[in-house]
Amino acid sequence: MRKSIRFIPNLFAVLHNPSSVAYNFYKDSILIFYNQLPKKIGAEEEILPKTATRQKTTTKTNKSSSNGNDKTVKQKSDEIITDKVNPKVSNSEHKQRRKSQKDSIKNVEPDTLREMLYQMVLGRIFEQKCAEVYRIGKIGGFCHLYIGQEAVAIGAMMALREDDLVITAYRDHVQAMVKGISPEAVMAELYGRSGGIVGGKGGSMHMFSNEHNFYGGHGIVGGQIGVGTGMAYATKYKGTDQVTLCFFGEAAVNQGMFHESLNMAQLWKLPCIYICENNKYGMGTSQARAMSISSVAEKACAYGIASEFVDGMDVLAVREATERAIKRAREESLPTLLEIRCYRFMGHSMSDPGKYRSTDEIKQYQERDPIFLFKESLLEAKIISAKDYEEIETRAKEAVEKAVKFADESPLPDESELFTDVYAA
Ligand SMILES: Cc1ncc(C[n+]2csc(CCOP(=O)(O)OP(=O)(O)O)c2C)c(N)n1
Ligand SMILES: [Mg+2]
């Protein structure tokens, strides 16, 4: 009986995504195991021009790619969409963001900057640990890691008020922690243990906490966009000034739910911020192969929604763009679509054979690691010293070790829990 409870998260995972279940049990190796914190990049990239981020309330073709793509945004019939990385484009983008980040630092409190760096490092080390314990069978079921995308969650969510609402897809561990759920409760959930944030019944894809205004953790691609829109409607109906952040991947944009939700949000003037984390891939399919118009921000014009294209390797650019959207939502009760371009360094999930992209492509993005960039900027601005950074890393490692110990020691859910929280007949 106890064993069957242990596998409830796996069962949920199977129901959510039966096609990949064959890969799902720990033995598979992942193509890229990014087990190191960022290393220093080449000296030739240390020159600092301007940001790739720009604000838009109406939409036009984006010239800048912000994910190193060669001619990313193309709509005219004679132009080609490509997912080929152009080192020249990505180098120049990187230089721009270094300059922009240096300028942006001046507008944020030093304590907030240090906390942002800590949260990014914590997220990275937590996810590295997840990969490690997954491979020895401690975590079962699906497990989608966030390594490489930290600037998005931290930049956006740390601009929020505590009572604001957040909802996301299945790549949800870091978002859950930034919203205030403890690393222990997230790790125990991954382990399927009773100390998990939903008692070990949800697993990796279903972090949830009413107390923290964190509403999942959703396995159905695009499903949370409708729920997030409803959350924003609820806050408006109740007359609060809370805003909702609704995260989703670029592959979800091809779902009907995205279009129906954006239409309704603008029509009903809902305080919802739609954050598309464009990491270029939906499982093994590149965006270039799946989307006729590759600029997601561009699509907002179909519904008259304000939109912005944001550099997701730059945590401060993400923060600034989100702050603008929050102001619009809180003060004018209006929605915004942010397309935040980023890159995932790991496979889609722990079972990804990774045959759809080259190690060279991955390396190019790893060299522009958002954590390394932010760390360097803070060092240069003397917001932190090298010793401070060591302390941040040590504190994050200790928090993760504590989480693992807690998860290891947390008991399996009690047999009596088997039929609680079950809503389907
Ligand atoms: C409705 C639905 N269709 C298909 C799937 C299978 N699936 C799981 S993840 C995924 C790709 C989603 O990619 P994206 O939205 O870009 O998010 P990312 O994984 O890149 O964060 C697909 C197709 C699903 N879970 N739900
Ligand atoms: Mg994606």
Q: Say whether 303 sits in a helix, a strand or coil.
A: coil
Output the CA–CA distances (angstroms, integers) from residue 346 to 32, 219, 314, in the order listed: 6, 18, 19
Ligand showing the shortest atom-to-Cα distance for residue 278 = 2
pLDDT value of residue 94: 83
Dist. CA 323–CA 195, nearest whole Å: 34
User: 130 exposed, middle or buried (CB, 10 Å; 0-12, 13-18, 19+)?
Assistant: buried
Give distance in angstroms: CA of 398 to centre of ligand 1: 33
Ligand 1 centroid to 418 CA: how many Å? 28
Pocket residues: Cβ below 6 A from ligand 1: 16-17, 171, 219-221, 249-252, 279, 281-283, 348
Burial of 425 (0-12, 13-18, 19+ CB in 10 A): exposed
Distances 273 to 330, 361, 394, 398 between C-alpha atoms, Å: 10, 31, 34, 34
E strand or H helix at 277 = strand 272-278
Tell me the C-alpha distance between 79 and 218, whole Å: 36
* Cα dihedral sign, 37-42-48-50: negative
Residues 296, 289: contact at Cβ < 8 Å?
no
Going along the chain from its start, the domains and CATH numbers come out as: 1-47 (no CATH), 87-409 (3.40.50.970)
Handedness of CA 291, 296, 300, 303 (dihedral sign): positive
Query: For the chain, which ranges sit under pLDDT 50?
Result: 1-64, 71-82
| C-alpha distances out from residue 309 to 7, 26, 174, 291, Å | 41, 37, 22, 17
Cα separation of the two ends of the chain: 21
Q: Which atom of ligand 1 is nearest to the CA of 252?
A: 15
- Give tens-digit pLDDT for 250-285: 999 999 999 999 999 999 999 999 999 999 999 999
Q: Closest Cα to residue 186, out of 132, 247, 143? A: 143
| Element spanning 420, H or E | none
Nearest one of 251, 250, 216, 248 to 231, comparing CA atoms? 216
Q: How would DSSP label each residue in 329-346?
A: HHHH---EEEEEE---SS
Ligand 2 centroid vs 380 CA: distance in angstroms?
A: 32
Residue 419, classified by CB atoms within 10 Å of its CB into exposed (0-12), middle (13-18) or buried (19+), is exposed
Q: Which of 15, 145, 221 to mutate to test the pocket of ligand 1 (most atoms within 8 A of CB)?
A: 221
Neighbouring CB atoms inside 10 A of 118's CB total 18
User: Tell me, what DSSP letter sits at residue 116?
Assistant: H
Residue to mutate (ligand 1; options 283, 349, 351; most atoms within 8 A of CB): 283
Q: Quote the pLDDT of residue 97.
A: 87
Cα 176 to Cα 205: distance, rounded to the nearest angstrom: 11
Task: Enter the tokens of residue 323.
Answer: 């702050």
DSSP string, 345-366: SS-SSTT---TTS-HHHHHHHH
Residue 136 alpha carbon to ligand 1 centre in Å: 26
Q: Is 176 exposed, middle or buried (0-12, 13-18, 19+ CB in 10 A)?
A: buried
The residue contributing the CA closest to ligand 1 atom 11 is 282
Residue 129: strand, helix, or coil: helix
> Hey, whose CA ends up nearest to atom 8 of ligand 1?
221
Nearest CA to ligand 1 atom 7: 221
Cβ < 5 A residues, ion ligand 2: 249-250, 279, 282
Q: Which atom of ligand 1 is nearest to the CA of 253?
A: 15
pLDDT digits 0-9 by tens, 290-325:
999 889 999 999 999 999 999 999 999 999 999 999
Rounded to the nearest angstrom, the distance between the alpha carbon of 282 and the centre of ligand 1 is: 6
For residue 99, the Cα-to-chain-centroid distance in whole angstroms is 24
Calpha distance 122→313 (Å, rounded): 17
Q: How far is the CA of 165 from the centre of ligand 1 (A)?
A: 22
From CA 289, how far away is CA 293, in angstroms rounded?
Answer: 10
pLDDT of 71: 41
Spell out the residues 6+ positions from residue 222 whose beta carbon is closer than 8 angstroms to its own. Answer: 248, 252, 253, 255, 256, 257, 258
Stated pTM of the model: 0.84
State the distance from the centre of ligand 2 to the C-alpha of 121, rounded, in angstroms.
22
pLDDT computed for residue 59 by the predictor: 37
Give the separation between CA 416 and CA 425, rounded to whole angstroms.
Answer: 18
397-423 pLDDT tens trace: 999 999 999 999 999 999 999 889 888
